[in-house]
Amino acid sequence: MFKKINSILDLIDKYEIFFFDQWGVVHDGEKIFSDAEKVFEILQKNKKKIFIISNSGKRSSDNIERMKKLGANHILKSPMITSGDVCHNLLINKRKPLQNIGNNYFVVATDYPLLDNTNYKKTTDLDKSDFLLLSSTTGFKDFENLKQIFDKAIQLNLPLVCSNPDILGIAGEKVHPSTGDLAIQYKKLGGITHIIGKPGFEIFEFAFNQASTSKEKVLMVGDSLFNDIFGANQFDIDSLLITSGIHRKDFSSDRDFQGIIDNIHSDYQNTGSPTYIMEKLK
């Protein structure tokens, strides 16, 4: 059973490390939330360790540049780890579950340079590919031809590596399908998928290994019951759900919050149970 709180600062004495999601928590893709800036400033002054752990298929450097343009200040004083960073690390170091993935890859959707300047080779020929790489759908519109690509890739038994698990994303006031939705489509068709990021343990472990404390002192703050909250449950840390993010339509009703959470389901994702709940980060 969760506890409703008025401010994350009510928890400042209980936790030493704070993991923050990016989209829907500190910004909406169009603007930085002013209260989020204030929260980061206060936590930093109180010597708390803060990590932004984001399901972005892009590297953290690109996300930092985006947040600079959005006007971030104190938020940028804390390190960021993206699922793109973790996916890149697993591929470069040939670590599980990507240790035997092969060297030639075929880009699905937007051609983001995740593996540029590495020993991996990009190809436009599925017959010469070892795996599919899906990192971004930014600006991508040719969804109609993906079914044909997916069908042939499955015939060739090619695994798909996705560096962004998010099925839903936020752009201003709109909630829209995101990169992970394509990975789910491939899985529905029978394809082998390796989806890196929350709720998978790799990104939590990547961040946690950079801090020296017990899990009881770590709090995950996110807006997705499927990725942030369930991921925190799996990693055995406490969590705070921000209800104004991807689930905003569900929480706009007058029902009790527990009843709303109990009725949020996904065919291919698990619904997590938060320790705390709050409308917006403040």
Domains of the chain plus CATH, in order, are: 3-84+199-278 (3.40.50.1000), 99-195 (3.40.50.1000)
Query: So what's the pLDDT on residue 111?
Result: 95
Residue 24 per-residue DSSP state = T
Contacts of 171 (CB under 8 A, 6+ apart): 28, 29, 30
Among 68-72, 171-175, 193-197, 244-248, which stretch is predicted with the lowest mean pLDDT? Answer: 171-175
Strands 174-177, 168-171: parallel, antiparallel or unpaired by DSSP?
antiparallel
Residue 172 has pLDDT above 70, yes or no: no
Distances (CA, A) of 25 to 20, 53, 150, 241, 282: 7, 11, 33, 9, 10
Mean pLDDT of the region 163-189: 76
pLDDT tens digits along 51-99: 999 999 999 999 999 999 999 999 999 999 999 999 999 999 999 999 9
Name the pLDDT band for 178 (thresholds 50, 70, 90): confident
242, 2 Cβ separation under 8 angstroms: no
In 3-state terms, what secondary structure has residue 83? helix
Q: What is the pLDDT of residue 11?
A: 97
The 3-state secondary structure of 223-256 reads CCHHHHHHHHHHHCCEEEEECCCCCCCHHHCCCC
Residue 174's pLDDT band (cuts 50, 70, 90): low
Amino acid at 140: F
Q: What is the pLDDT of residues 32-51, one digit of tens each?
A: 999 999 999 999 999 999 99
The pLDDT mean for the chain works out to: 92
At residue 13, does pLDDT exceed 50? yes
Q: Sign (positive/negative) of CA torsion 194, 181, 170, 2? A: negative
> Which residues have a Cβ under 8 Å from the Cβ of 72 and sit 6 or more positions away?
26, 27, 32, 37
Rounded to whole angstroms, how far apart are CA atoms 166 and 29?
15
Give counts: helices (H), strands (E), the chain: 8, 14
